[in-house]
Structure 1
């Protein structure tokens, strides 16, 4: 494949009004919501279609084409999060051989417009645009005997998460893929494919920079510049110095991963595999050490050592231009998540006196020219409609207006006082609704931190006493709620929204630094702005942790409103949390069962920061944050799950036309002290905690690929799973040679 060619989308290309009401069929609201923007994307494509009169490139591996090995979904994936509107064009090609000329059916799958060339002839020009699940197009083609070249040109336009994928399937008898590669030997390459198909990485995360590879005995492998030989089927490699930048990376859009490129040690083979490995933040604490003053000092020292940002300046007490470069770029370009930066900059203006000359005025000018809500002028793809973004926007607008009450804000022409009142009313309404019913993004280990950032900023900086009191009450609920839904520094309860890296390791959770500051547990990573705002607060006092409860249910309910959420329906969740000293189990019960999923983490067992065990219905092979849902975060179709104390029963529906056709379990064996399979059960122990997971027919351990010894695949249909947790107490489940002996359970329900 070729890399993406990207270009900004000029406002003049957007057939939308930049002023007036943002609503209606042609309103600018569509720019900020992935599913609704597909018709607009198609209009943009029809205005600037791919050129059809240009010959396709020759498919030869080299500078123009990079070889890739797709996942089980067969998708070539260029997906990326686009902070500003971006045109994206990419090319993928292949060559295959048939012995006898014949008619074949080619099935091209894509999320955007494509051109399909076969042997230089344009056979398909499709202009369909989808959000996450790609559309399929069929073409009948006469293939001559010998080698045929196929080139697919892909077009997309990115507004925030951009899913850009293509796939080619050839109907009929098998074909032989013969991608031209100068200097390659096809027999050596074929043997290399066999070897590499058996290689795996049994541990996704590392704290010491060492990664284990498994595979065929005696295989000589190149890993970057290093050559290793597998002895007893294993070898250890060290990550290069370029991995240092990934350490501690923690964002809902960043994975903290580096990629190991592995090939056989033979120049005649061009094939390779890529294995993502996470560099884990090393600072994790399961139990409090020292007093709260120590936790605060540890957090602030950690923040000052991170990449320069608003948070480092807030922790250090001096504001340098280099630290604000990214924040000011985001505000100037109206990039998505610029609202987070605006709140951070406003906090700096209030809290820090020592600024580089001229920098304070630069920040002031940026804030006076910014857009603060969807009803204000401007064409952009900033997100206004998820729960966390709403409050951050209202907070930023209110605080900016209160800080500059008599100034004229250039984007609207309003005074600061008018902006303050506009933001204050919306913030008050948002907080009142959450005090009454709770969160739609329930217990999100990414977005509760963002809610906390906005709320502590209101408590510290806002002028309205009643609003400050309500914000303080809601923030108290968030922080004490985090204590309730966390176990040994892991926010392991079910989540309304989450990402792959955070459900594989709690060290990446956005809430982890907050837990460290407030309760002396958790982890220190790069997601430090919310925790830093809390640590430097002078008005707000962190509430004491509530008494631990073995079993608790946390419920939320409310109403979505279209002009705030782009949905008009009720929401609700009932999260069950069971905790002992050794293990935690949590489920959101009957949550929209049988309906399409997005980023919900429905249930999971937790025995450690990297020992989080759960099952998903995979829609694809991706782990990208721009695939929602993906292989390990969210479900294609949400299951029906019920929990009784230490047991979860979960039922999954897999349609006959399901693109992947399976459920699978994350069960990272390397993080356990002991494990084994007995009958249909896979059982593991870490410390004093025990977990047992079963499905009909049992499950096999995947032993190759990036999820080796971490993934379980069911032998049977995989539509029903049971998970039991326990500890050495005799009252807990007993694990025998033929399975798990436990009380009888049944599950009854009405409906689908």
Structure 2
């Protein structure tokens, strides 16, 4: 990149083709859209195997048909200027430079809680050395209309929700500058991939130019982009300390930054920060000012009319409410401590409002939070069920308290009576019904609303409360039958187990039908059994059926962490608000499970189980006192992934390792799969005790032509690299990571010092862990791993090795995992699994 005259000049991003990913973009114009209310149908868990697109909202067709019948419009012809205004739908948006940070896509993916028509414009100048007919590949989620030099060359309208489609476009390029204009549209429905990619397939060396006001502005923008490109947070988790962005080189002048921050379920807040000349660390604040949460900070520097923005993610840990010895407290005492933590530090919502009331907080504060929460329920925003479920307890506990006026209670009741409680009711919203946690909450909400108002008429369905109650009881009995037969379709998910508890605890406390209360207790006991069998030192660091960056990099803040701490006093308390109802309940987790919290140095624990429809998730968890290794066996290898996290090694909440094929090449993107959470293409995985093997055969059309491992160097006591191996030590336990394609530690930018990359679409990875019970020292472990006889074929994706602990291990794309000739399989263990805790057999080391 260079800054020349009054424009920024870039070479196209070199991927499979030359990618035109530098544009001037308008802000996104949005308008909420309404459709003819319709019903839906379908199995709640099939989408996890068949893909979420099998449940397309019927309203989408209405939107797509209208767009395809219309001609795209370009309301301007001259190149825009940074800071210039564009008007549409009675609103104004400003033009600004798009900074991709390595992303091949022009992307603004995100989460939209109601059906939202999105539209934006983009402009770029492509300089060609000669006039010629050029071939471009255009890819999009949504639709793209493309004009070049004033002529509409393509109007591509696939509109397949969150599934990228592509087409080929031939364009007559002139010698010199060519003006490209884009109109990019889609209908946003909850998690929304919103991007387009333009790839040039010819041999000519093109140049991209982005106009700016003058040469000084262009030079300063280029310098700031380079500085932010190389910057990072020092570590992915910070505890009781300053929150900092670290620049590689100090600035020669004071620089002002606008900083906004948010988390997954919170609003966005803004602040100003300044970096003094000569300083390298931009201090954003202190963890004492925040809850225990995984936060995203967007740091922006305004230069002239252009703004350079970059996103940083970091876990913030505030130990103000952490007792000295949680294990010495009773469950009741730990619940109270957790409740106070949420009341003080929780994200403002209905759950936090109840926590504040229960701990003597200001009723007006709680009233405002609840009224704000009612808006989302009334608008039927996605995840409205996560908050509606708490209102029934709130009504029981406070309806006759005299704290709130009748108008307030009238609105709460009206909100309950007007809700859409299931897919067989008409609606034009984008609430997601098709997962076990959402189904449980919708059924539970319907039951509790029906119980509360048996004689009232519910306006969306026309049914009485008594009819709703009877219907919900039948639905819930069916849900429990399936749950106890299949377990968690979204196996082990640290994001969604707390949501399951959110429904189960209300049934346990509030359901009138005794069988539902008992089934809820059994289900919670089973979930605690899973967590305590799989957690390490109180943290559910595991393979997950659905994963997010916020849990993978935020173990202290995960909802399961606080559930485990309340039950058994290990790990830490946090400010997750979804757990409030459990803290208020008299439900007590099975205390005998507390025996699983700690293993002796000479012990090992192996837990195998089958989850999901027909037991498709074959899970293995191997734990010692020093580490846990967890994986899913042979899960859809080679196919497109979603949010499945297939192998995880952990020594502590921050000293952890996993391998994946990135679903996108932007470090803090919104994709599902994303950079760290899930896999663009799923590997074949095999595990035996402390050894994991991953075989990758990545789709040649995927942007990411590499695989990588999360490997946070600063979280380990020692790290060594030897050829294609990296080694780490943590508190007397050891890890070794190997990739047949070689390993390189990222040394700059967002993932500085925490990412190992390995080139190639076909690759073989080994991840193994051990401790002093097996190897007397870290040095001995390194020596044995390096000298371990092994044969690895990337062409055939086959592995054969002689492990000093386990013997001869073989694994291949077409071969099962075998150890000393015996096939290793997860079978006949069902949803309850088989748990073996025993003395370790150590030999050959």
Normalising TM by the smaller chain, what interval?
0.7 to 0.9
Alpha-carbon deviation of 1:625? Answer: 7.4
Measured in 2, the distance between the counterparts of 1:461 and 1:719 equals: 52
- Counterpart among 464, 472, 478 of residue 423 in structure 1: 472
Give 3-state SS (helix, strand or coil) of 2:73's partner.
coil
- Counterpart among 271, 284, 293 of residue 239 in structure 1: 284
- Counterpart among 307, 316, 323 of residue 369 in structure 2: 323
Residues 43 and 465 of structure 1: is their aligned pair in 2 closer, same or farther, counting only changes over 3 Å? closer
Query: Which region of structure 1 is more displaced relative to structure 2, 154-163 or 429-438?
Result: 429-438
Residues 244 and 131 of structure 1: is their aligned pair in 2 closer, same or farther, counting only changes over 3 Å? farther
**1:122 lines up with 2:152 in the alignment:** yes
Paired position in structure 2 for 1:259? 298
Measured in 2, the distance between the counterparts of 1:245 and 1:7 equals: 35
**1:155 lines up with 2:218 in the alignment:** no
Measured in 2, the distance between the counterparts of 1:465 and 1:417 equals: 17
| TM-score of the aligned structures, taking structure 2 as reference length | 0.79
Paired position in structure 1 for 2:532? 483
Give matches, 1:450-529, under 5 Å: 450-529=499-578
Alpha-carbon deviation of 1:294? Answer: 3.3
| TM-score of the aligned structures, taking structure 1 as reference length | 0.88
**1:348 lines up with 2:394 in the alignment:** yes
Give matches, 1:472-621, under 5 Å: 472-529=521-578, 531-538=579-586, 543-548=591-596, 550-559=604-613, 570-621=614-665
- Counterpart among 310, 318, 331 of residue 274 in structure 1: 310
Measured in 2, the distance between the counterparts of 1:651 and 1:175 equals: 37
Give 3-state SS (helix, strand or coil) of 1:239's partner.
strand
Give 3-state SS (helix, strand or coil) of 2:210's partner.
coil
Residues 107 and 55 of structure 1: is their aligned pair in 2 closer, same or farther, counting only changes over 3 Å? farther
1:440–1:556 contact (8 Å) kept in structure 2: no
Residues 95 and 278 of structure 1: is their aligned pair in 2 closer, same or farther, counting only changes over 3 Å? same
Alpha-carbon deviation of 1:8? Answer: 0.7
Measured in 2, the distance between the counterparts of 1:205 and 1:345 equals: 34
**1:203 lines up with 2:235 in the alignment:** yes
- Counterpart among 194, 201, 226 of residue 164 in structure 1: 194
Alpha-carbon deviation of 1:332? Answer: 0.9
**1:665 lines up with 2:709 in the alignment:** yes
**1:179 lines up with 2:210 in the alignment:** yes
Give 3-state SS (helix, strand or coil) of 1:156's partner.
strand
**1:97 lines up with 2:127 in the alignment:** yes
Q: Give 5+ residue unaligned stretches, structure 2.
A: 1-24, 44-50, 85-93, 258-272, 789-802, 816-845
Measured in 1, the distance between the counterparts of 2:753 and 2:808 equals: 30
Paired position in structure 2 for 1:252? none
Alpha-carbon deviation of 1:472? Answer: 0.8
Residues 199 and 394 of structure 1: is their aligned pair in 2 closer, same or farther, counting only changes over 3 Å? closer
Alpha-carbon deviation of 1:341? Answer: 1.5
1:101–1:144 contact (8 Å) kept in structure 2: yes
Paired position in structure 2 for 1:2? 26
Paired position in structure 1 for 2:800? none
Residues 351 and 625 of structure 1: is their aligned pair in 2 closer, same or farther, counting only changes over 3 Å? farther
Alpha-carbon deviation of 1:42? Answer: 5.6
Give 3-state SS (helix, strand or coil) of 1:719's partner.
strand
Measured in 1, the distance between the counterparts of 2:422 and 2:304 equals: 58
Query: Which region of structure 1 is more displaced relative to structure 2, 198-207 or 153-162?
Result: 198-207
2:299–2:310 contact (8 Å) kept in structure 1: yes
Alpha-carbon deviation of 1:440? Answer: 0.7
Alpha-carbon deviation of 1:22? Answer: 5.2
**1:711 lines up with 2:755 in the alignment:** yes
Measured in 2, the distance between the counterparts of 1:220 and 1:581 equals: 51
Instruction: Give CA deviations for 1:626-655 in whole Å, capped at 9, x if unaligned.
Output: 421121111122211111111111111113
2:663–2:671 contact (8 Å) kept in structure 1: no
Measured in 2, the distance between the counterparts of 1:337 and 1:188 equals: 43
Alpha-carbon deviation of 1:309? Answer: 2.7
Measured in 2, the distance between the counterparts of 1:404 and 1:195 equals: 60
- Counterpart among 38, 43, 50 of residue 18 in structure 1: 38
Query: Which region of structure 1 is more displaced relative to structure 2, 661-670 or 311-320?
Result: 311-320
Give matches, 1:32-431, under 5 Å: 34=53, 36-37=55-56, 41=60, 43-48=62-67, 49=70, 51-52=72-73, 54-56=75-77, 58-63=79-84, 64-172=94-202, 173-185=204-216, 197-207=229-239, 208-213=241-246, 215=248, 222=255, 224=257, 225-227=273-275, 235-239=280-284, 247-249=291-293, 256-261=295-300, 272=308, 274-283=310-319, 288-292=326-330, 293-305=332-344, 306-315=346-355, 316-317=357-358, 320-352=366-398, 353-354=400-401, 355-358=403-406, 359-431=408-480
Paired position in structure 2 for 1:567? none
Measured in 2, the distance between the counterparts of 1:212 and 1:247 equals: 19
Residues 197 and 371 of structure 1: is their aligned pair in 2 closer, same or farther, counting only changes over 3 Å? closer
Give 3-state SS (helix, strand or coil) of 1:608's partner.
coil
Measured in 1, the distance between the counterparts of 2:808 and 2:120 equals: 53
Paired position in structure 1 for 2:835? none
Q: Give 5+ residue unaligned stretches, structure 1.
A: 25-31, 250-254, 560-569
Query: Which region of structure 1 is more displaced relative to structure 2, 59-68 or 325-334?
Result: 59-68
2:638–2:683 contact (8 Å) kept in structure 1: yes
Paired position in structure 1 for 2:262? none
Instruction: Give CA deviations for 1:718-742 in whole Å, capped at 9, x if unaligned.
Output: 6211111122334478333685454
Alpha-carbon deviation of 1:311? Answer: 2.0
Alpha-carbon deviation of 1:583? Answer: 1.6
Measured in 2, the distance between the counterparts of 1:229 and 1:588 equals: 50
Residues 544 and 66 of structure 1: is their aligned pair in 2 closer, same or farther, counting only changes over 3 Å? farther
Measured in 1, the distance between the counterparts of 2:629 and 2:692 equals: 8
Query: Which region of structure 1 is more displaced relative to structure 2, 355-364 or 617-626?
Result: 617-626
Residues 169 and 183 of structure 1: is their aligned pair in 2 closer, same or farther, counting only changes over 3 Å? same
Give 3-state SS (helix, strand or coil) of 2:810's partner.
coil
Residues 145 and 62 of structure 1: is their aligned pair in 2 closer, same or farther, counting only changes over 3 Å? farther
1:107–1:138 contact (8 Å) kept in structure 2: yes
Alpha-carbon deviation of 1:245? Answer: 8.0
Measured in 2, the distance between the counterparts of 1:490 and 1:262 equals: 37
Q: Calculate the aligned-residue CA RMSD, in Å.
A: 3.1
Query: Which region of structure 1 is more displaced relative to structure 2, 194-203 or 462-471?
Result: 194-203
Measured in 2, the distance between the counterparts of 1:285 and 1:156 equals: 49
Alpha-carbon deviation of 1:189? Answer: 6.0
- Counterpart among 733, 746, 758 of residue 702 in structure 1: 746
Paired position in structure 1 for 2:781? 735
1:246–1:257 contact (8 Å) kept in structure 2: no
Measured in 2, the distance between the counterparts of 1:159 and 1:200 equals: 32
Measured in 2, the distance between the counterparts of 1:616 and 1:533 equals: 35
1:616–1:665 contact (8 Å) kept in structure 2: yes
Measured in 2, the distance between the counterparts of 1:196 and 1:687 equals: 34
Give 3-state SS (helix, strand or coil) of 2:124's partner.
strand
